[in-house]
Structure 1
Amino acid sequence: MHAKTSHVSQPAPLPDLCSPQCVLNPNHFSDFMDTNAVIDLVHEVQGQLWVDKVNETHRTGRLCRWVSTFHPHNLPCQLDGTFHHGAFNAGMKMVFSDGTAWMIRFPRVGMVSDNYADEKVAMEVTALSLIRNKTTIPVPRVQAWGVAAGNPLGLGPFIMMDFINGVSLSDLLNNPNAERPTRLMREDINDSDIEIIYRQLVNYLLQLFKLDFDRIGSLPWPGVDAQSATLARPLTFKAHSILQNGGVNTFGDRRQGYTTTTEYFQYVVGQDWAQLVQQPNSTVGLYDAKNKYMAFQVLKALIPDLVNAKYDRCKFKLICDDLGLANLIVRSKKDLTVIGVVDLEWSYVGPAQLFGSAPWWLLQDRPVNSAWDCEDDKPPKIAARYFKCLKSFIRILEEEEEKIPGHEERELSSLVKWSQTSGAMWLHMLLSSGFNDYCSFPFTQLRRHFHTEWLKREEEFNNTEELEAFAVRKVSELEEYDEALEKREKDKALVDSGMMTKEEFVANTLTSESDSPAWSSSFVVNNEARNDKGLFQKVAATWLWSVFFWLEERPQAHVSPHCTFAKRSLQQLSTLKRKFLSCVQRIHRRGMSIISKFYELGCTYIDCDGRSLGKAGTHIMIEKFSGLRPIHMLPAFPLEYHPDQAGVRQKCIECGKKFCGLVRTHIRQCNGTAFFMHKGKPVQVKVNRRIGIDAAFFYEFNPNYYRPRVEISSSMRSDTNGNIWFDLGELEEEQHMKEKEKFRRTDSLNMTDDDYLICCPSVPGFSFAENDFYEFAFDDICDVKWSPGLLGNLTIPDKKKRTLMALARTRLEVVPSLPFDDFVAGKGRGLNVLLYGPPGVGKTLTAEAMSEYFEQPLHLIPAAQLVANPTKVEDNLTRIFQIAKRFDALLLLDEGDVFLGRRASINACKDATVTIFLCKLEYFQGIFFLTTNRETEFDEAVLSRIHLKIRYKKLSQPQQRDIWRHFIS
């Protein structure tokens, strides 16, 4: 709160800001919002460290000298009075030698998130400028302001404004004799005094109501026209309180604005839901968890009924979340003329119905604390007092509206009355302050308003599996929370007794097993030893930004992602992925999702769509972790931190060149692990056979396949308590599909080593042995070593062998020949060979030998696989012949009589499959081998399409002896 002390001609001696009269007493919101005491203890100590730093700058005179640099004439100044404090800010009245006075305010470390402190100050500066330019509301003039990076004292962002010399209305309205400190208005305040105050505030509201905006969201930063700028996500009092008290970041993407009231209300309700889900102590037991779950579900369902259709898509207004009686400075106790309106830091553009709601501040304090609790299911006594004040407020508002030309409709007062009759006023109070307590007065009033409808909807969610699972999980989280709190309280007791320093306490939180602070302190130094390059070797989660932020300034900076899965069978794949590098494009901190906290790196890499190379985008998410982690063991880290930077770089360049050589269609050998992503998780298989590489063909058969080119693992390796594994697969897939960047073509002829460095480490293709599509690691891929000599090991008559070879050469166009077609063009161009005889005589070997000789892969089709699902036979056959055509593969249908037996009228399904197969075979232009032990079992139509039959007799003893001699030698 702004200082409201009288100006003194002779400033008092400079006080120590840690003196008892200047202790910072945090303004807790536990009455209406659950507080995570674990992080609250940390915030308290962080705040004390910050105050220590303020004291140091004050004692050395640096503070006053710095403030003087902002005066137009650089006049000297000194602190007048004490260190004034509010819920979020610490302020000082500075008096210059010419008698002018400024109020210097800093967001309090421990009470305001480092991530949002700059934005908070900037939004207040914009709001004050807008209000001064567009209204007559007496807000202070801003003399100077700056972000944390512009403060040489290291005290964070700041704002310097004219000091308003008056009395805080809050001091006049508070009850100093109350058992519990509260801002609730005293009961002995005269109605006439209340009317004087209300009438002035009503006039301010009517002026603000004239300001219209096109979109819901944040105000722009200072220097931009606030009413014409493109708006973004708002910085609200409620969202920051959730972060401060619960440690849950619900702000979301700052670039996200809102175009309708309904959309925005759902967003805000989602913030409270996120707190309920993610904060470990957001419930106190099984019964409480169930009631809160049902209350939230019903509230979300009823929001459309509480939106005023007239204002859903238009007339958005300037909302000042904390604007109320406590923001007013009056001339004196006897003269209640308002001379200043201060602390408008939580200002943004919001729905008109939220602006025009029945005010929560009529009795100064929010109606969500214990004074408003219902007694025996009856409204609290204070409710009657509130409604009396609301009636007076509406009367005054109507009277003031009548004085304004063109306001015959009394639009603002009509909105206020609508919010009361519709019950929306209670929703508005919950939206602005939080509603984790389903027994709060606004929540109770909302249930009473809907009554039957509420009970009906509540029953829909009662006793569901989701409800039971949620309640059980929240109870289990409480046990872990209690353990963490007990440990943190013991450490805090050591600090209070002088046995542990404040710095040690905060540093210990970085290695604690409990949740780390909601935001990092600027005064905790990581003293971990540096490596020989001058780089830190370990980092805490709250300091991750320091590892990556400098990469944004370097267009060719690289990070090295890990991919380590819990199963050792994927070790080869993880090794390959650890070698993959990506260019960093951007980095930003992401908020708390339902799953967990994480950092996200936006990266680029070079990939292939099956036809050409191009640059594409992806995201690497680093899961929140506890303790210190070796930087080179993070899921992703800058290449400079790799122990073998030069070796990794060279290996990646070699893999990149191999990648560029495998564009389009190729046949290769794979000896290692292949994988396929299913529902965001890798399914791996050992492959030691021939594979066909063709990315375009891969995506034809798998159009919705999510390919993790930069595989993201949240595996954190070992820490002080062993291995910790996180799973972000499904979240990563969803995020990738939402934000995947467009594929941008690149010229493969102009590739540099830096380009080769960031090529994708795997390639999609088809495994002939497994008869399925996979991704293959480059380290496991090599050229095929064909074995044409295998043909000499066949035990078939030479005449048959020569005939087979001659036909194969002709059909494969190895030797010139006349084109051969059936009566229909393109039909009958293949070569169909039947191999029949007893088992173990070389039928399959013949097909394999032909494959080796002609250097074409062999695609083996088990007949049992085709008949396993009769409804998919046609699709399977189409797939088989397409694969064979794409990779010029020879086809082998083993034990074909199972599939192509004689047709009979009693088995129409089997007859249909034979007919389908024959139609596909007619247009196949390759070599097709059919093996069987029973030639006579085939359908006559199948036999009529066979070009060459080769019979295999039982091996003689000399033949068996030759085979054994071959293997032994």
Structure 2
Amino acid sequence: MRLRPDDLCWEQAEETSEKWLIQLLEPEFLRPIADFMITHNRGIATEFVILRKGSHNISLRLKYRNGSTVVRLSQPGTVFFPEEKVVNEVAVMRFIRDQTSVPVPFVLHSDTKEESPLGLSPFIIMEYVEHETKMYAALNTPGCPVEQRGVPNPNIDEATLEMLYGQLAGVLLQLARPSLPRIGSLSQTNEFTWQVTRRPLTMNMNELVRVGGLLRSKLPGLDTKFDTSSSYIEALAELNIQHLFYQRNDSVHSADDCRRKFIARRLFRELARDKRLTHPLLENGPFKIWCDDLRPANVLLGENMEISAGVDWEFTYSAPVEFSYMPPWWLLVEKPELWPKGLVDWTAAFDTRLETFLRAMRRCEEVAIQKDQLFKKNNDSPTICMTAGRVEISGSCTQL
């Protein structure tokens, strides 16, 4: 049972963000940023523009005669752990480029707020990926106003839908290949080695502090890693209980509502403690890369509707396998809790799209198996395999 955001916290966060953003409209702020980017690139600059304001960053592009680069600045008021966020994102992007075939922008440079132009915020300078549109636009209803919530195109051609889903299924399979020994955020220890060294910085943790009134001290410590799936799920359950305790405004609207939310959170924690929310053969890993913000809006498409790059990897970490192997919510573009016709209608629509996605996933898996990239025969003890978005037990195969 989700809590409404604290409207007072939300207003304060929005005010902080707006005051910070408005200064970027002034030439005296833009010129030092452009000059700073030029020092980290080679070539003659021809154009400097603000690309877009995202949920957590603002991006500015500097064009050269032979290409473009982008600087992403973390927005105060929307990001409450900016230094940690940037360090995590850079490590993950480099890990993905090295360990998978998922296309991501090449990171040129990153640093702290103190080293940023005008001391604005922690930043990343990366190559700009040319693209025609985003997967979100390809799945959304044509002509749907930008300011409105997404509505899946009801008239999309089935072959086109399966082609788009197939590309996203390929990304999920690639992210499922690397295995990690713990749950948490990655650090690059040398050129080709990464380790899980810090807590998993999740989008939910950021939002609990930003609009939920949760004290930072109630979050897992920076050096916290998790060795089991159930211990991590229990920590998430504890955060939800703390959230109910600490949010001052808009969390409940009656005594009965408070009881229901409290009981629901306690029951969830008990299920986690009893290890009833995780699979016993997956309890100790290996764990998989999971991105809280992997969705069609963050997938860039080229002119042939092929994926050019995935972007916005800041809330990405090593997570329980169940996170990666469950059907993705973004098949309908919009989250179930925000679906205008309610959960029952969302579920009916989702089931239809899920069948298409599973067909696309099976084809991706078959190709990967043929290339010996996903499974190999093994006579050892039973292991876990992924098949079309499900977790299955098998004694005849093991994940590479």
TM tier relative to shorter chain: 0.7 to 0.9
How far off is 1:41 after superposition? 1.8
8 Å Cα contact 2:24-2:30 kept in structure 1? no
| Residues 1:44 and 2:14 aligned together | yes
User: What is the identity, as a one-letter code, of the residue corresponding to 1:313?
Assistant: N
1:54 CA displacement: 2.3
Within the candidate set 69, 77, 89, 1:124 is matched to 89
Q: Name which of 109, 125, 138 aligns with 1:160.
A: 125
Give the equivalent residue in structure 1 for 2:290: 319
Q: Tell me the CA shift for residue 59 of structure 1.
A: 5.4
- Once the two structures are TM-superposed, the CA of residue 394 in structure 1 deviates from its matched residue by 2.4
Match in the other structure for 1:267: 235
Partner in structure 2 of residue 188 of structure 1? 155
Q: 1:329 aligns with which of 281, 294, 300?
A: 300
Deviation at 1:418, TM superposition (A): 6.2
Does the 8 Å CA contact 1:34/1:245 hold for their aligned counterparts? no
Asked if structure 2 preserves the Cα contact closer than 8 Å seen for 1:67 and 1:77, the reply is: no
C-alpha deviation, 1:312, in angstroms:
0.5
Counterpart of 1:392 in structure 2 is 356
**Residue 326 of structure 2: aligned partner:** 357
Q: Find the counterpart in structure 1 of residue 78 from structure 2.
A: 111
Measure how far apart 1:413 and its partner are. 1.8
- 1:93 is paired with a residue whose SS is strand
Cα deviation, 1:518-567, whole Å, max 9, x if unaligned, reads xxxxxxxxxxxxxxxxxxxxxxxxxxxxxxxxxxxxxxxxxxxxxxxxxx
In the alignment, structure 2 segments of 5+ residues that lack a partner are 378-383, 394-400
Q: Corresponding residue for 1:690?
A: none
Aligned mates of 2:2, 2:341 — CA distance in 1: 11
Distance change >3 Å, CA 180–CA 247, structure 1 → 2: same
Q: Are 2:19 and 1:55 aligned?
A: no
Question: Distance between the aligned counterparts of 2:355 and 2:52, measured in 1?
Answer: 35
Following superposition, the deviation at residue 57 of structure 1 comes to: 5.6
In the other structure, the counterpart of 1:442 is none
CA distance in 2, matches of 1:92, 1:60: 9
CA contact (8 A) 2:184 2:197 kept: yes
Give the alignment partner of residue 237 of structure 1, picking from 203, 211, 227. Answer: 203
Q: Does 2:381 correspond to 1:407?
A: no
Report the equivalent of 1:424.
Answer: none
What amino acid does structure 2 have at the position aligned with 1:293? F
Seen in structure 2, the aligned counterparts of structure 1 residues 199 and 242 have a Cα distance that, compared at 3 Å, is same
Deviations 1:329-359 (A, max 9, x none): 1113xx3211111111111111111111121
Question: Kindly, what percent of the aligned residue pairs are identical?
Answer: 23
State the match for 2:258 in structure 1: 289
CA distance in 2, matches of 1:317, 1:63: 37
* Structure 2 equivalent of residue 383 of structure 1: 347
Could you tell me whether the CA contact under 8 Å between 2:71 and 2:126 is conserved in 1? Answer: yes
Q: CA deviation at 1:408?
A: 6.7
Aligned pairs for 1:753-764 (under 5 A) are none
Which amino acid in structure 1 is aligned with residue 248 of structure 2? P
The 1:415/1:179 distance shift into structure 2, 3 A limit, reads closer
Within 1, Cα distance between the matches of 2:69 and 2:280?
A: 45
Q: Could you tell me how far apart the structure 2 residues matched to 1:283 and 1:209 are?
A: 39
Higher RCO (CA-CA < 8 Å; seq separation 6+): 2
Map of 1:884 onto structure 2: none
Once the two structures are superposed, residues 598-629 of structure 1 have per-residue CA deviations (whole angstroms, 9 ceiling, x without a partner) of xxxxxxxxxxxxxxxxxxxxxxxxxxxxxxxx
Q: Render the CA deviation track for 1:825-859: whole Å, top value 9, x for unaligned.
A: xxxxxxxxxxxxxxxxxxxxxxxxxxxxxxxxxxx
Unaligned runs of 5+ in 1: 1-30, 375-379, 420-969
Taking a change above 3 Å as real, the CA distance of residues 401 and 173 of structure 1, as seen in their structure-2 partners, is closer
Report the TM-score when normalising by structure 2: 0.86
The aligned residue for residue 93 of structure 1 is: 61
Which residue of 34, 50, 55 maps to 2:4? 34
Deviation of 1:251 after TM superposition, in Å, equals: 2.8
1:348-377 Cα offsets, whole Å, 9 max, x none, are 111111111121111122222243624xxx
C-alpha separation in 1, matches of 2:208 and 2:6: 10
The two structures have a TM-score, normalised by structure 1, of 0.37
Contact 1:328 / 1:342 at 8 angstroms: preserved in 2?
yes
Q: Distance in 2 between matches of 1:178 and 1:162?
A: 29
Are 1:104 and 1:159, in contact at CA under 8 Å, matched by a contact in 2?
A: yes
Aligned twin of 1:174 = 140
Is the 1:261–1:351 Cα contact (8 Å) retained in structure 2?
Answer: yes
CA RMSD of aligned residues (A): 2.5
Within-5 A mapping of 1:702-781: none
Q: Indicate conservation of the 8 Å contact 2:361/2:388, yes or no.
A: no
Q: Do 1:330 and 1:338's aligned partners in 2 also have CA atoms closer than 8 Å?
A: yes
Do 2:336 and 2:342's aligned partners in 1 also have CA atoms closer than 8 Å? Answer: no
Distance 1:391 1:35, change over 3 A: same
Kept after mapping to 1: 8 A contact 2:89/2:315: yes
Aligned-residue offset at 1:122: 1.3
> Does the CA-based 8 Å contact 2:358-2:389 persist in structure 1?
no
Deviation at 1:118, TM superposition (A): 1.0
1:145-165 Cα deviation digits (max 9, x unpaired): 111121141210111111112
Structure 2 match to 1:462: none
Alignment-derived partner of residue 348 in structure 1: 317
How far residue 278 of structure 1 moved from its aligned partner, in angstroms, is: 0.6
Distance 1:161 1:338, change over 3 A: same
Residues in 2 aligned to 1:55 and 1:270: alpha-carbon distance in whole angstroms: 42
What do residues 658-710 of structure 1 show as CA deviations (whole Å, max 9, x unaligned)?
xxxxxxxxxxxxxxxxxxxxxxxxxxxxxxxxxxxxxxxxxxxxxxxxxxxxx
Counterpart CA distance in 1 for 2:280 and 2:240 is 24
SS at match of 1:182: coil
Question: Are 1:78 and 2:47 an aligned pair?
Answer: yes
Deviation readout 1:156-175 (Å, 9 max, x if unpaired): 01111111121122233334
1:392 to partner: Cα distance: 2.4
Residue pair 1:70, 1:144 contacting (<8 A) in 2 also: yes
Q: Could you tell me how far apart the structure 2 residues matched to 1:407 and 1:369 are?
A: 38
Q: Structure 1 residues 133 and 372, CA, compared in 2 at 3 Å: closer, same or farther?
A: farther
Say yes or no: does 1:278 pair with 2:242.
no
| Contact kept in structure 1, 2:301 and 2:308, CA below 8 Å | yes
Does structure 2 conserve the Cα–Cα contact (< 8 Å) formed by 1:103 and 1:161? yes
> Which residue of 2 is the match for residue 302 of structure 1?
271
Match of 1:67 among 20, 32, 37: 37
1:916-948 Cα deviation digits (max 9, x unpaired): xxxxxxxxxxxxxxxxxxxxxxxxxxxxxxxxx
Q: Is the 8 A contact 2:98 2:192 kept in 1?
A: no
Equivalences for residues 247-258 of structure 1 within 5 A: 247-248=213-214, 249=216, 250-258=218-226
Alpha-carbon distance change, 258 to 283 in structure 1, aligned in 2, over 3 angstroms = same
How many equivalent residue pairs?
376
